[in-house]
Amino acid sequence: MELWFTEKQTKSFGITAKVKRTLHTEKTDFQDLDMIETEEFGNMLVLDGMVMTTQKDEFVYHEMVAHVPLFTHPNPKHVLVVGGGDGGVIREVLKHPSVEKAVLVEIDGKVIEYSKKYLPEIAGELENSRVEVKVDDGFMHIAKSENEYDVIMVDSTEPVGPAANLFTKGFYAGISKALKDDGIFVAQTDNPWFKADLISQVFSDVKEIFPLTRLYTANIPTYPSGLWTFTIGSKKHDPLEVSEERFHDIETKYYTKELHRAAFALPKFVQDLTK
Amino acid sequence: MELWFTEKQTKSFGITAKVKRTLHTEKTDFQDLDMIETEEFGNMLVLDGMVMTTQKDEFVYHEMVAHVPLFTHPNPKHVLVVGGGDGGVIREVLKHPSVEKAVLVEIDGKVIEYSKKYLPEIAGELENSRVEVKVDDGFMHIAKSENEYDVIMVDSTEPVGPAANLFTKGFYAGISKALKDDGIFVAQTDNPWFKADLISQVFSDVKEIFPLTRLYTANIPTYPSGLWTFTIGSKKHDPLEVSEERFHDIETKYYTKELHRAAFALPKFVQDLTK
């Protein structure tokens, strides 16, 4: 018998991956959590039926969420990751020696637990002494924070289920308040082929709150359309004006300093979503 | 009943698309040809079970094959497209007023016939008076040509079946001979996630023959991994050194002059394939 996991990424399109075995399946307090071993992508974390991360391609998302804002900020010391319970963004954040403390606020402790168990090379750095892990509501954590962080990264699921309020103008206003005067934030904002309206809406909302708003992309094979977007809101520093000296050597598989800049050169139909 | 077309892009991974109806299915002299109407991507041309083009996302591939070399060459007049029977590359080529004649050499006349019928907005320009359509073997056409073309584009299927000999060093040597002294060629060279070895091999083969070899990428949702590569071999002109004045306004949905340059900034693991 062959088992295939199929994610319907839209009502009429999806991806399908051959499954060796199911490692864990559970209805947590917040979502359906499945961890499966696939033949093509290794272990795969699936939340509410949607691929979150896989061993083979996780580096793209995690590197591109972390390094673009962290190289943009001249001296990031205090970093917050909202969501991201698999620990991949945290792992990348710690590659920046300026970072003294990285706080992870993940609403679902089970994501952390099973990522540590089945995705150890992603989640391993959650034990690092520079990291503080809080199992808590990211929206509430933001609401309570003021003038605290240099960089905030929103590594959420789609705007359905537990992450719905992480795609609201109120949340972006809270993030602005939680950031220091020259703070910068980034959020994953889905794909332009099937979710163009979402990208337009978020971009316009963030633009109302932050002096500088920019969109960039990366290729993630297991995400819908393979083209993912990230929206940056920045109080001061421009990701397109990073000085050469700011870049230091870090080990990456996707990010390069040339790609940092190139990722902001958008396909025409994506550029149009930011107008 | 729901019908879904699934392309296994690897042995253990694929895409699946809901089908409204099958428009045409035929075993031609060269390959299995299917034209289906999908809900998400409109009409879709499938050859030997692999998605070739769809109404929704065709513009990416066709624009990126055509405009990168055509803006790189200072004055392209005589252009050859090998393969590309759907006519999409030809449509883009004709947006360049310098082009006096564009020759299409497609081995399978049925691809042309059914593209004209079911993909008219892609194939329509095949009737243009600046276009010469030949139903012929591209390999043989190249072998017979000498010092003839400014730009050659290889818009082939995968290196199995009818296109196998279009991925050989002998073919690239023939292309070099068929090009004028400052000619440039581009070929689609698959994706770096599942076909890394192919990209390395082609890059190294082309590099032995052309003074200048470069790789660039584009996002195509219906192609494996969503990240497609194109390999350029050039006798003189560098796609990274196009003067601002060279760019003129053309109507596009993906290509921009900024993206022209950015497409050559490769993810680290792709860059490594060119070393």
Three-class secondary structure of residue A67 per DSSP: helix
Three-class secondary structure of residue B108 per DSSP: coil
Residues of chain A with CATH 2.30.140.10: 3-53
Residues of chain A with CATH 3.40.50.150: 58-274
Residues of chain B with CATH 2.30.140.10: 3-54
Please check the confidence at residue B166 and state whether its pLDDT lies above 90.
Answer: no
Query: Has A155 been labeled as part of a binding site?
Result: yes
The conformational region for residue A270 under phi > 0 = left, psi -120 to 50 = alpha, else beta, is alpha
- The tokens for B162 are 């009818």
Question: Do A38 and B12 count as a contact with CB atoms less than 8 A apart?
Answer: yes
Give contacts of A265 with chain B, Cβ < 8 Å.
256, 258-259, 261-262
Share of chain B above pLDDT 90, in %: 94
Distance (Å, whole) CA A21 – CA A6: 14
Predicted local distance difference test score (pLDDT) of residue A163:
80
Mean pLDDT (chain B) is 97
Question: Do A271 and B256 count as a contact with CB atoms less than 8 A apart?
Answer: yes
What residue of A is the nearest CA neighbor of B2?
A12
Predicted local distance difference test score (pLDDT) of residue B131:
98
Angle at the Cα of A260 from the Cα atoms of B66 and B242, rounded to 5 degrees: 35
Whether A18 contacts chain B with CB within 8 A: yes
Question: Do A271 and B254 count as a contact with CB atoms less than 8 A apart?
Answer: no
Q: Which residue in A14, A38, A217 is closest to B16 by CB distance?
A: A14
Angle at the Cα of A253 from the Cα atoms of A250 and A254, rounded to 5 degrees: 100
Predicted local distance difference test score (pLDDT) of residue B160:
76
Residue range B52-66: mean pLDDT, rounded: 98
Question: Do B267 and A258 count as a contact with CB atoms less than 8 A apart?
Answer: no
Please check the confidence at residue B240 and state whether its pLDDT lies above 90.
Answer: yes
Three-class secondary structure of residue A134 per DSSP: strand
Handedness of CA A131, A132, A134, A137 (dihedral sign): negative
Predicted local distance difference test score (pLDDT) of residue A58:
98
Predicted local distance difference test score (pLDDT) of residue A164:
83
pLDDT class of B157 with cuts at 50, 70, 90: confident
Second CATH level (architecture) for the domain B3-54: Roll (2.30)
Strand ranges (DSSP E) for chain A? 3-10, 13-27, 32-38, 42-47, 50-54, 78-83, 101-106, 131-135, 149-155, 179-188, 212-219, 227-234
Distance (Å, whole) CA B66 – CA B238: 15
To the question of domain B58-274 being in CATH 3.40.50.150, the answer is yes
Helix axes B169-178, B196-209, angle to 10 degrees: 40
Q: Which residue in B57, B193, B259 is closest to A221 by CB distance?
A: B193
What residue of B is the nearest CA neighbor of A265?
B259
How many Cα atoms are found within 13 Å in the side-chain-facing hemisphere of A112? 18
Predicted local distance difference test score (pLDDT) of residue A255:
98
Residues in chain A, pLDDT under 70: none
pLDDT class of B238 with cuts at 50, 70, 90: very high
Neighbours of B66 (CB within 10 A): 31
CA dist A91 to A177, A184, A250, B39, Å?
26, 19, 12, 40
Q: Which residue in A18, A38, A268 is closest to B255 by CB distance?
A: A268
Encode pLDDT of B207-233 as tens digits. Answer: 999 999 999 999 999 999 999 999 999
Q: Distance from A158 to chain B by nearest Cα, in Å?
A: 19
Superfamily of domain A3-53: Spermidine synthase, tetramerisation domain (2.30.140.10)
Encode pLDDT of A30-57 as tens digits. Answer: 999 999 999 999 999 999 999 999 999 9
